[in-house]
Amino acid sequence: MRLYLLARNPTDSVTDGFLPAARRLGLDVTVLTDQPAAHRRRAPEPETLGCDVRDFRAVISRVSAHHRPAAVFTNSDHLQTQAALAAEYFGLPAKSWRAALATKDKAEMRRRLAAAGAAAVRAAKLPAGADPAAAAGAAGVPYPCVVKPREGVASEDVVLAADAAELVRRCAEIRARRPGEALVVEEFLDGELYTLETLGDGRVRHQLGGFHTELSPPPHFIEERMAYVPAHPAPVTAQVLAQLDALGVGFGICHTEFVVRAGRARIVEVNYRAVGDQCDLLLARLLGVPLFEHVLRTHLGEPLPADLGARTDGRARLSYPCAAAAGTLTAAPGPADLVVDGVELAYRPLRAVGERHELHRTNRDFLGVARAVGTDQARVDRVVAEFLAAQRWEITP
């Protein structure tokens, strides 16, 4: 059986998660990507073919002229709609392309949720050239508000604006970097930030827990630390699942970010893929289940078990040391795998010594990731904090 995996840039989720899982399932894998050289350097084993994966017609043509597909799958934020359309064309199990489009397009997501009466958020779409202050005022968006690319990822160019003047300035800055791209202005959702990780086959939907996320100080939203939450309060989970139902989300794996304030849960964004930045690798280890295999099996048309057999006693933390300035990384720790006081800790560099980078104020500023698993949250937190405190990163302007 052949799996077609659509991808843009290489990611840890694909290289260290889904490709090894496909091998364990005995699948023949063809990677379709618009960056074939980068994927061949990172993972030379699978067949890798060049393709304009942003165009579903090009994907269908490439697959049709190659081998018969058993599944078409992607873990990319950018390619969910294309993969869903291609899978549907070949009569294969897939996410709804309508749900994939509605979750990727943040303006459409707000419209769909509002129309369903599911935790409406005041928001306005800003086409290229639109006056942001006027659009926000017409939609009744209060200050402070958040401006973001309509189809952005990873908190890139997501920023808080305190008033109309700052909103106009922030939009001008984003448009200079993203000419012609539509933006969204929406009310700032104050409260604690959490995630819910789900996995479904269209019949059952498993809740895999989630994370409590600690962000950098405003006006930017960099995810600096995440602690695992085995289960959210039932009323909160019910609210989030109802909003996902309104969007048509239920097949495959999904990473949903939401804010809770006074018991009210409102979605920030839905990433119709596995949680990234190595959280998915940690989740598989923490739950003790073949998570990546389960995801691929759903796209092969296999039902999920009624009980995944996941562990419930695990606790975990991820921390991301961040660059504070632009420059060349001249000193940094290497990879490490340790067991300290019963806590398993893994550190992986995300930037090589000698690389020069600008300051992005997104997860592209991450220098590395420390992920730790244990059974006591306080001990896990302490081991991570002590490990990071003993390391040294130097950036030369």
Give the model's pLDDT for residue 130. 87
Which regions of the chain are under pLDDT 70?
none
How much is the pLDDT for 120?
A: 82
Contact between residue 231 and residue 163 where contact means Cβ atoms under 8 Å apart? no
Using alpha carbons, select from 332, 328, 320, 321 the residue that is nearest to residue 358: 328
Start-to-end CA span in the chain (Å) = 51
- The vertex-285 CA angle with 280 and 290, nearest 5°, equals 80
Q: Residue 236 has what pLDDT?
A: 97
pLDDT score recorded for residue 366: 95
pLDDT for 153: 79
Q: What is the DSSP string of 165-201?
A: HHHHHHHHHHHHHSTT--EEEEE---SEEEEEEEEEE
Pairing of strands 2-7, 28-33: parallel
- Written as six digits, the tokens of 232 are 């959210």
CA distances, 193 to each of 44, 108, 241 (Å): 38, 22, 16
pTM of full prediction above 0.85 = yes
d(CA 212, CA 284): 17
